Amino acid sequence: MEHTLKITNVLADPTRYYIYQYIVNNHGDVTVQQIADSFSIHPNVARLHLSKLEDIDMLTSEARKTGKGGRPSRLYRLSDKVIQLHFPYRDYQLLSRIAIQTMMTLGEQGKQALYDTGKVFGEELVNQQLAMSLNSVDSLSFAEKVGMLKNAAAIAGFSPEIQASEEENNIHFRIFNCPFKEVTAVEPSIICSMHNSFLKGMFEALFTNVHIVELENMMSDCSTCSYQASVLT
């Protein structure tokens, strides 16, 4: 309970919360000076905010020599630790592991059911975005579809980065956060397959003739999960 109260106290400060969001969207290391410049605050204040976020395990840091002599620069990045607040206590990771391992007892039928369900949930996520926009998928331009895909991926917690070329009907899709990471470590091939079907459902809700190729996978010690998608509008 004391740690929970510490977390809520640290995140109650708006500047500190926005600094954390900035680091989430930065997809890489940040320095004290970078935070100070981005938020127009003194470096000592930026260092205090970063230290408090590190104290509750939301960030981690390391000293790195600059090659110019003098004091090493401290770099901050997102921690791999999962921070969850539930009142009263809930353990959804345990529930998901139980559900997935139960599905695996069904053999190939269980794997196929998990794949099919992942695809349905991906489609539903995008369809919810379409319903809120009050637009039909046929009325959207290529750029609007890519924007909707990015919004849906952000809602799913993927922390996405997308580069798209309408001329080549090509989308490079990178994921910096895997919301299934802790469960994936237990059943990597099964969860990654379900995750890929989830993405396929998202893409197929917006585009036709979708072909997705996985380029990188976090479970193979890559920094991101990366995909190349060929699509038709």
Q: Could you report the average pLDDT of every consecutive run of 10 residues in the chain (233 residues)?
A: 82 93 89 94 95 93 74 86 75 86 89 93 94 89 94 92 92 91 82 92 94 91 91 81
pLDDT given for residue 205 in this prediction: 95
The second-level CATH assignment, the architecture, of 101-232 is 2-Layer Sandwich (3.30)
Name 212's Cβ contacts closer than 8 Å, sequence gap at least 6.
196, 199, 200, 203, 227, 228, 229
SS3 string, 128-160, reads HHHHHHCCCHHHCCHHHHHHHHHHHHHHCCCCE
* Cα 95 to Cα 132: distance, rounded to the nearest angstrom: 31
pLDDT given for residue 61 in this prediction: 93
Q: Which fold has domain 1-78?
A: Arc Repressor Mutant, subunit A (1.10.10)
pLDDT given for residue 35 in this prediction: 95
pLDDT given for residue 195 in this prediction: 92
All structural domains of the chain with their residue ranges: 1-78, 101-232
Positive or negative, the CA dihedral 46, 40, 31, 6 is positive
pLDDT given for residue 69 in this prediction: 60
The structure tokens listed for 63 are 């000293």
* Cα 64 to Cα 72: distance, rounded to the nearest angstrom: 5
pTM: 0.80
Q: For residue 43, give the nearest of 78, 11, 51 by alpha carbon.
A: 51
pLDDT given for residue 190 in this prediction: 87
CB atoms within 10 A of CB 49: 24
SS3 38: helix
